[in-house]
């Protein structure tokens, strides 16, 4: 079954993914003599840098979700289709989706990235990632559920575990989330839960490398660490998380952190559709491209990213 895209004399560009890269490219081509097909599983764009605000109840999901059709309502050369990509047949220039197939002259893969648990299944099963609005809401609900459970517990050890939070990954997401939770602990939670003693709540930020924000400047790293320490965040650098069991976050040095909430922000891996994954991808499932962002070996398939 086709996706009901009209055939024209125009060259067809299929863009997979309505994230920052996909949106920017489609908007840049709005005046071109091309037929553009934008494929995404959602009918909205998610502003990922503010997921941590949704997770900590600072913003509602509607504040960071923008309808695709409203964004592009004045773009006449665009067809939007909501579906999942099943397979890419590069030999036949065909994108296979759950709704049908669509041919392309040029294909742009802007599928972004997903959480990388580095093969640690116990971590994947127990931790809370934050790569979608749904995951951010799940994180918010899980934390509040733990506080409600702490209200009815008479076991000091269990209460400590329910209040504590371990964030793994000292990049921008982990740093922002740790700061937001620390501010909630001081200004919001004592008012919402006056029966709980949030002075006993511990927030740990665990980073495997030697510094926070290691991809940024040394000044940014040191200022972020100083700010979080002032808020009372326990920063552990040079520490790797190896597992999670019985409410204990296991560390490579044999120690553990007791916490019911484990948030994973420690890494990403590329989202390569079937047909490209394995053949045209490298470390971290990242799609391999040349200096013009063409996928190596496929001149009519490009990778778009920010």
User: What is the b/e burial string over 17-32, where b = at least 16 CB atoms within 10 angstroms of the residue's CB?
Assistant: bbbbbbbebbeebeee
Residues whose CB is less than 8 angstroms from the CB of residue 169 and which lie 6 or more positions away in sequence, other chains included: 206, 207, 264, 265, 266, 267
Q: Determine the distance from the C-alpha atom of residue 43 to the mean position of all C-alpha atoms in its chain, rounded to a whole number.
A: 18
176 belongs to the catalytic site: yes
Give, for 136, the enclosing helix (H) or strand (E): helix 133-151
The dihedral sign for the CA sequence 216, 52, 110, 68: negative
* Measured distance CA(248)–CA(233) in Å, rounded: 18
* Residue 220 backbone phi and psi in degrees, to 5: -60, -40
Strands (E), the chain: 11-16, 34-40, 44-46, 65-67, 78-82, 85-89, 94-97, 100-103, 106-109, 113-115, 165-168, 203-207, 234-237, 241-245, 248-251, 256-258, 261-264, 268-270, 301-303
User: Which long-range contacts (C-beta less than 8 Å, at least 24 apart) are formed by 149-156?
Assistant: 150/196, 151/193, 151/195, 151/196
Neighbours of 275 (CB within 10 A): 19
Q: Are 302 and 294 in contact (CB under 8 A)?
A: yes
Name the active-site residue from 176, 195, 255, 271: 176
Residues with a known catalytic role: 176
């Amino acid at each position: 079954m086709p996706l009901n895209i009209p055939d024209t004399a125009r060259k067809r560009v299929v863009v997979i993914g309505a994230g920052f890269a996909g949106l920017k490219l489609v908007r840049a081509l709005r005046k071109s003599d091309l037929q553009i097909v934008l494929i995404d599983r959602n009918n909205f764009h998610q502003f990922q840098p503010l997921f941590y605000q949704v997770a900590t109840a600072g913003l509602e999901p509607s504040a960071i979700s923008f309808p695709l059709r409203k964004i592009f309502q004045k773009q006449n050369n665009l067809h939007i289709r909501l579906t999942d990509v099943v397979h890419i047949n590069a030999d036949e220039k065909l994108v296979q989706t759950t709704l049908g197939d669509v041919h392309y002259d040029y294909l742009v893969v802007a599928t972004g990235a997903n959480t990388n648990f580095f093969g640690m299944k116990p971590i994947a099963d127990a931790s809370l990632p934050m790569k979608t609005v749904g995951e951010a809401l799940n994180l918010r609900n899980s934390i509040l559920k733990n506080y409600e459970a702490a209200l009815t517990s008479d076991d000091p050890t269990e209460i400590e575990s329910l209040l504590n939070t371990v964030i793994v990954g000292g990049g921008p997401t982990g740093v922002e989330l740790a700061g937001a939770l620390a501010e909630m602990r001081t200004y919001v939670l004592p008012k919402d839960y006056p029966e709980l003693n949030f002075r006993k709540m511990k927030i740990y930020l665990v980073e495997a490398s030697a510094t926070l924000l290691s991809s940024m400047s040394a000044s940014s790293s040191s200022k972020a660490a100083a700010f979080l320490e002032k808020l009372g965040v326990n920063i552990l650098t040079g520490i790797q998380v190896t597992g999670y069991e019985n409410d204990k976050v296991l560390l490579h040095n044999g120690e553990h952190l007791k916490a019911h909430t484990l948030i994973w922000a420690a890494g990403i891996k590329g989202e390569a559709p079937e047909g490209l994954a394995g053949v045209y991808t490298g470390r971290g499932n990242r799609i391999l491209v040349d200096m013009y962002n063409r996928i190596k070996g496929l001149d009519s398939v490009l990778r778009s990213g920010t």
